[in-house]
Amino acid sequence: MICEICGKDGGRIRHVSRSYGKGINLLIIENIPVISCSICGESYITAETLHEIERIKLHRQSFAVNRNVPVADFA
């Protein structure tokens, strides 16, 4: 895949999870496609993906499934 940053054929799609908000407004979106380039080292999200993230956030009641989230202390 061609990287939109450097223009070379080094882009690959990874899937990541991101959290938005905090407390009772916390929303975790899983499997977000992120393009990472092995040549220039940059990672980015396409405009289409950003629009979909905003749509999910706006209509979170339709998309979200409540789950318990375990928390670990790094210390």
Q: What percentage of the chain exceeds 90 in pLDDT?
A: 75
Cβ contact 24:54 at 8 Å: no
Q: What is the mean pLDDT of the chain?
A: 92
Q: What are the boundaries of each domain within the chain?
A: 11-63
Does residue 67 surpass a pLDDT of 90? no
Cβ contact 37:3 at 8 Å: yes
* Among 46, 50, 13, 4, CA closest to 29: 50
* Sign, Cα dihedral of 58, 61, 64, 69: positive
Give this prediction's pTM. Answer: 0.82
pLDDT in tens, 3-38: 999 999 999 999 999 999 998 889 999 999 999 999
CATH class of the structural domain 11-63: alpha beta
Q: Say if residue 71 is exposed, middle or buried (CB neighbours under 10 Å; 0-12, 13-18, 19+).
A: exposed
